[in-house]
Structure 1
Amino acid sequence: MSTTEITAPAGSAAGVDPITFEVIRHKLWSINEEGSQTMTHVSGSPAVHATDYNFGIYAADGEMAVVGVYLLVPIYTGAMAIREFLSRFDDIAEGDVFIVNDPYIAAEHQNDVQFCAPFFHDGELIAWIGCMAHQVDLGGMDAGSWCPTATDVYQEGLRIPPGRIVREGKVNQELWDVVIANSRMPFVVSNDFTAFLAGLKVSGERLTELCDRYGGDTVKAVMGQSIAASERGLRELLQELPDGTFEHTSYLDRPQTSSDPGAPESELVTVSCRLTKSGDELTFDYDGSDEQSAAYGMATRAGTVGAVATLMLCLFGSDLQWNHGLMRPVTVKARDGLCVTAQPPTPVSGGAAGANWVAMNAAAGCIAKMVSFSEDHKGLAFGPGDGSWQLGQFGGLNQYGEPFASMYMDSLLWGGPAFADRDGVDSGGAMVILGGGTQDVEQHEIGQPLLYLWRREVADSGGAGRNRGGNGIEFALVPYDTDEVSGVLATHGCALPNRTGIFGGYPGSVARYEMVSGVDALAELRAGRAITRLDAAGGDHVILPSVTSGAIIKAGEIVNVRLQNGGGYGDPLDREPERVLRDLLDGAVTPETARDIYGVVTSGDAIDEVATTARRAALRDERRAAMIPPGQAPAAGATIQEGTWGDALRFVRRDGRSLVECAHCAAELGPVGADWRALTGTIVLRPEQASPLIAVHEELAVQQQVCPSCAASLWVDVVPRDGMGWRDFTLQSAGEPAAS
């Protein structure tokens, strides 16, 4: 038996020459991918085959060394888990495999089971190998263990504390059996656990071969140098950005818990992020967020920190190596007991895609505002990449008379956010699962008694802008060869768009669940009549609440799921008419949106240039007529450097004063002061003015900031009707605060 103590940080050995470094670094990626693919080939779970998993290699102290491109949040919770194992156990041995799924310790929710194996070479702990996958069922009150109406964690399924599932190569059969006995789908879960062990075994063998060839110390040093290089690169990048604070607030909407008859149908949970950038350090502060409550969507600290790590990897990992170095300069600050740091016994199964995703949205807004001050890095700015996961989980008896529980991963196919230089990707997939996809339709229909009517992109679902957000899908299902199925449908982003645009871009569509009951779609299909629209199916067509647990869908009835989609970038009236025409001909936008939001008028398959010029001028005039004029210009603040802020503002020095200009027309807005919005016109948009596919909670409004001179759209946000409680940015110059 080999045991170890951590006596030095990863990579403390002498430096490795560049050629050897690159050979080993790429080999580590190959080893990680081989372990990942082994796991997926052994698993028969549709969740795994739709990439709701990850696989990683960690340094001896638990830092991420090699990160897969699948479900990203748990790759960081894996690092948290390893550190927990190291702190709890002083007899870690070769051949051990540890397990945990406790979300209050190191998981998003109970379904995400993590296996971590220490890797030894010549008796020394060199690394860890970790893998996880969403388990189709681990007990709880609802099939599939997403329990959106749970009132405490004890209703949500089995929690597994940190422990060993394998001890020195021997399976802990008692623990294995306890977990399997609590699942409605014991074969699938047991097979997944076997797949985990297979992937860990293959990767461990390949790591042994690598260490035999180059030496364990060298492999360990490569991991440490790679992490250090990413940290160094990120710190250098941060030094090029202005110091200051950057704020963004988003909301988790969920069914009303108040018994007050006058309360809105949905209640709002506020998630506020205040990003402080100082030198080469970032602090994400969520202390302004709402307190936890026993209702759908609360997130644990592990899920929230993992969400911030996901954003850091995806954003800054485009230029730097993906590893823990991208989190070393980061602090996440949040006191216990918030909606993003829920404590027991608060239910958290829905938090895996609830408050932690909204926290990621808020952090993304902060980072976009920060990097947009840099000409070199403003290309990294985008609106929130992921809005809400629309859970579609069904259970009952399948067409073979067997119990089934399945989570549909089609909800990953949302449209991406727009950037300064390009449109968002249509059905581009999720930032949280960069390498992800969705299940094959036929694979689903073979194993589950649900027939697809359609899986298709929805016109106008991406936010309008100079560059538009990507359109996403909707998918419709009909039970067949069974009497009925039960469904758990849960999300947020139905009462507001979480995926707002930036620099004048409009928000993308909200989420929606719909159902048509009292109809036999199967009979229509047997008669040769295709159903292409819900409103043409007959029956009773209803919009479902954002959270529905135990919904009964009878054979022949229809449930339809429509996704949130990416926001736009820049003023829609600045989009080239030729691009709007192409979108129109491709079915990406409707004629009404082309005319009323983009201001483009067409005649047949061509642009009516005269009418388009007149239409755009009329829309700008409408903005001027609707806007609330700028308020009293705030007092001048401290000096800031000349430059621009995205597509909205230009900062200049003139006659010894610091002034703000419109980046569109160069009109002077006023002196630099406490809040740039006070220098602009304000319009409260009706929802349909921003998108035909959004809704806005009665406590919120879509607020547009426009240039008083040229009426350009500078920023569009969803804000409280009774006033904002944050500022977009407050910069610092020469050690003193310089207001925004």
Structure 2
Amino acid sequence: MTDGTTVEVVRSHLVSVAEEMRATLVRTSFNPVIYEVHDFGISIYDPRLRLVAESTGLSRFLGANDYSVRKGVEYVGVGNLHPGDVVLMNYPYWNAAHSYDATLFAPVFDDELIGFVCVRAHWMDLGAKDPGYVLDSIDMHQEGLIFPGTKVVSRGEPVHEIHELIRFNSRMPNEVLGDLHAQIAALRMGERRLVDLSVRYGRDTVAEVIDTVIEVAEASTADALAALPQGSWTAEDWLDDDGVTGDPVKMRVTVTIADGTCVVDFAGSSPAVAGPVNLPLGATIATARVAFKAITTPGEAANAGHFTALTVRAEPGTIFHAVYPAATFTQWTGTVALELIYKALAQGMPDRLPASSGGDVPGFMMVGVHPDTGKLFAVSNNEPVGWGGTPHHDGIGPANHLAQTQARMTPIEVLEARTGMFFERLEIRTDSGGAGRFRGGPGLRRDIRFVTEGEFLSVIKKTRSRPWALDGGHEPEPNQVIVFPGTDREHRVSTRRTAVSPGDRVTVLTAGGGGHGDPRDRDPAAVQDDLAEGYVSAEAAHDLYERKNPS
């Protein structure tokens, strides 16, 4: 039996391999959504396709790679995988994401198969019907070139025809192929390090360590589940629309914790809709995993053992289990669903969970032709929001949404240099956080002036309803995008492509977090601090935080 020291050394080595893959990807990618925003997921598997380690990355990719790699191996066939192979997968119903989240995986051999390495990252263009981001597709075939599990490298040699197929089907071929090669470089780094580990400790020892760390994870998760309140709780919410019809889209979840298991069931949610807000099942599972990990073992590096007690259910043909040919490009459903799960859980464990944290991710992008290069650009940013107040402290903010806590904002310098946007203002959005004994964190305000022609894309799915509060707290201000402010063309949009010209302006207002507890119970000193920081106005402080009459 392997001793505890060896177990910990090998476990840490596996995690460090994933982090080294991450560093390779960040240093070699062409696309700022990868090297600045960190819109990627990196993971390592044993020969049985059990997750053994992953790097930091986009939170909602936790578990998405598991689903994709398993489907990809099933499609290609493990007997058809050889040393040096790299497989590309972006078929959304298997890939657990939309078609521009390209998943590459490679088998790793030390004489025999010892595992798999995987890198998922967002590509900026694969020939979908619109450049940049697709907001109103009605089926998969409007969402770009599809690879169901296709070798881009075979036995160490690039498959030239596939690379050329990508080149001739992308509006941004240099960037996309550059990111493809960056992902391959990260996979190669992972392969080398895993082989080094296998040679140093032996295949049998590494396999025994993996069994041990997965068993330990299962045990720690079981202990955590046993300590949680037992019961079943249901919550509902709505997306603004599906991007096509304008009709709101119902979301419903029931979370049950009992007998050492957790079941997340999306029964009662809307059937699949016309627009691209349908979520592949793998993405739904990944969303539930984020919430499950947060309430059980948030301080432990994830592996397969942390999720054996979790079951996720969604009927095929609904928004949480998209089937061919349903449109899936706008993945914001998963972001709102993560908070929906927390909303249900908060009923059973109000002392453990915060109020809503913005309710959504307010994203934007500009697409156009750069005046200096004459080439198409498409650069995006996901804005931070205010986090919800908790039973013990205020919500932080502005900060990246719970669904992507490891991601980052695109720096202003990158946005201005690579697009036609100039940023005139970036500041705290006063009075955006929900009032409470512990207030929600504030959102922000960003004012944009355009210096070239192009299209401004806004991607928000919760502007018609406010994020939720808890225990008598107040709801915060929701996300808003105002196009052409101060003109006779001024209006508010949610998910929309808007043609812009030099001199046009847009204001982005991001949501605050929900308040927790009665605002009249807030410490007066904390209210004074909020005033000094600009989180609340004097009027709001007077109207919302007037103390209860002593009894």
Q: TM-score, normalised by structure 1?
A: 0.71
Alignment of 1:623-702 (within 5 A): none
Contact 1:43 1:195 survives alignment (8 Å): yes
Label 1:174 to 1:245 Cα distance change in 2 as closer, same or farther (>3 A): same
* 2:530 alignment partner AA: D
Contact persistence 1:252–1:297 (CA under 8 A)? no
Task: Supply the distance in 2 between the matched residues of 1:421 and 1:160 (Cα, whole angstroms).
Answer: 48
* SS of match in other structure, 2:247: strand
Q: Give the structure 2 partner of residue 663 of structure 1.
A: none
Task: Call closer, same or farther: CA 1:220–1:333 in 2, change over 3 Å.
Answer: same
Give the deviation of 1:255 after TM superposition: 6.9
**Structure 2 residue identity aligned to 1:492:** K
User: Is 1:271 aligned to residue 271 of structure 2?
Assistant: no
Q: Which amino acid aligns with 2:47?
A: A
In percent, how many aligned pairs have the same letter?
25
Q: Determine the structure 1 residue equivalent to 2:81.
A: 92
2:130 counterpart letter in structure 1: D
- Pairwise CA RMSD: 2.0
SS at the partner of 2:164?
helix
1:358 maps to which of 336, 350, 375 = 336
1:514/1:569 Cα in 2 relative to 1: closer, same or farther (>3 Å)? Answer: same
Contact in 1 for aligned 2:387/2:441 (Cα 8 Å): yes
Query: Alpha-carbon deviations, 1:492-549, whole Å to 9, x = none?
Result: 111012x312222222221111112xxxxxxxxxxxxxxxxx55xxx33623322212
Give the Cα separation in 1 of the matches to 2:256 and 2:2. 35
Partner of 1:141: 129
Is 1:295 matched with 2:275?
yes
1:460 pairs, out of 431, 436, 439, with 431
Q: 1:158 to 1:317 in 2, by over 3 A?
A: farther
**1:528-539, aligned counterparts within 5 Å?**
535=486, 539=487
1:349 to 324, 329, 332: 329
Aligned partner of 1:508 in structure 2 is 476
How far apart, in 2, do the equivalents of 1:87 and 1:268 lie? Answer: 37
Aligned to 2:32: 46
Tell me how far 1:87 sits from its aligned partner.
Answer: 2.0
SS in structure 2 opposite 1:463? coil
Contact 1:514–1:541 under 8 Å retained in 2: no
Could you list the per-position Cα deviations for residues 577-599 of structure 1 after superposition, in whole angstroms to 9, with x for gaps in the alignment?
Answer: 11011001110111122122222
Q: Partners of 2:20 and 2:512 in 1: how far apart?
A: 33
Q: Is the 8 A contact 1:300 1:340 kept in 2?
A: yes
Partner SS for 2:403: coil
**For the residues of structure 1 that align with 2:148 and 2:243, how far apart are their CA atoms?**
33
- C-alpha deviations, 1:149-177, integer Å up to 9, x for none? 22222222122212222111111221222
Which residue pairs with 1:408 in the alignment? 380
- Per the TM alignment, residue 358 of structure 1 is displaced from its structure 2 partner at its CA by 2.5
Query: How many pairs are equivalent?
Result: 548
Query: How far 1:220 moved relative to its partner?
Result: 2.7
Residue number in structure 2 paired with 1:73? 60
Shift of 1:47: 0.4
In the TM superposition, residue 296 of structure 1 has moved relative to its aligned partner by 4.3
Is 2:174 the counterpart of 1:203? no
**Alpha-carbon separation, structure 2, partners of 1:463 and 1:325:** 37
Partner of 1:546: 494
CA distance in 1, matches of 2:288, 2:387: 18
| Distance verdict in 2 for CA 1:592–1:34, change over 3 Å | same
Q: Once the 2 structures are TM-superposed, how far is the Cα of residue 256 of structure 1 from its aligned partner?
A: 8.5
Q: Which runs of 5+ in 2 are unaligned?
A: none
Aligned with 1:25 (options 5, 8, 11): 11
Equivalent residue for 1:101? 90
Cα deviation for residue 325 of structure 1 reads 2.1
Larger radius of gyration between Structure 1 and Structure 2: 1
The residue that corresponds to 1:657 in the other structure is: none
What is the correspondence of 1:203-352 to structure 2 with a 5 Å cutoff? 203-254=190-241, 267-350=247-330, 352=331
Given that 1:361 and 1:386 are in contact with CA atoms closer than 8 Å, whether structure 2 keeps it comes out as: no
Specify the alignment match of 1:642 in structure 2: none
Distance 1:124 1:267, change over 3 A: same
CA offset at residue 20 of structure 1?
1.1
1:438 aligns with 2:386: no
Aligned to 1:527: none
Would you say the 8 A contact 2:432–2:443 is kept in 1?
A: yes
1:68–1:431 CA distance, 2 compared to 1 (3 A): farther
Contact kept in structure 2, 1:394 and 1:407, CA below 8 Å: yes
Query: What amino acid maps onto 1:107 in structure 2?
Result: A
d(CA) in 2 for partners of 1:74, 1:389: 15
How has the CA–CA distance of structure 1 residues 407 and 42 changed in structure 2, closer, same or farther, with 3 Å as cutoff?
same
Instruction: State the Cα distance separating 1:257 from its structure 2 match.
Output: 6.0
Q: Which has the higher contact order (CA 8 A, sep 6+)?
A: 2
Residue type of the alignment partner of 1:132:
R
| Compared CA separation, residues 468 and 67, structure 1 to 2 (3 A) | farther
Change (3 A) 1:68 1:565: farther
Any conservation in 2 of the 1:230–1:321 contact (CA below 8 Å)?
Answer: no
**How has the CA–CA distance of structure 1 residues 552 and 568 changed in structure 2, closer, same or farther, with 3 Å as cutoff?**
same
Give the 5 Å matches for 1:574-653. 574-599=521-546, 613=547, 616-617=548-549
SS, match of residue 408 in structure 1: strand
Query: Residues of 1 paired with 2:143 and 2:426: CA distance?
Result: 30
Q: For the residues of structure 2 that align with 1:157 and 1:446, how far apart are their CA atoms?
A: 27
Deviation at 1:248, TM superposition (A): 1.1
Secondary structure of residue in 1 paired with 2:241? strand
Q: Which residue of 2 aligns with 1:172?
A: 159
- Cα offset for 1:573? 1.6
8 Å CA contact 2:278, 2:327 repeated in 1: yes
Q: Does residue 392 of the first structure (1) align with residue 364 of the second (2)?
A: yes
How far apart, in 2, do the equivalents of 1:230 and 1:60 lie? 19
Unaligned stretches of 5+ in structure 1?
1-14, 259-265, 373-377, 517-533, 600-612, 619-709, 711-740
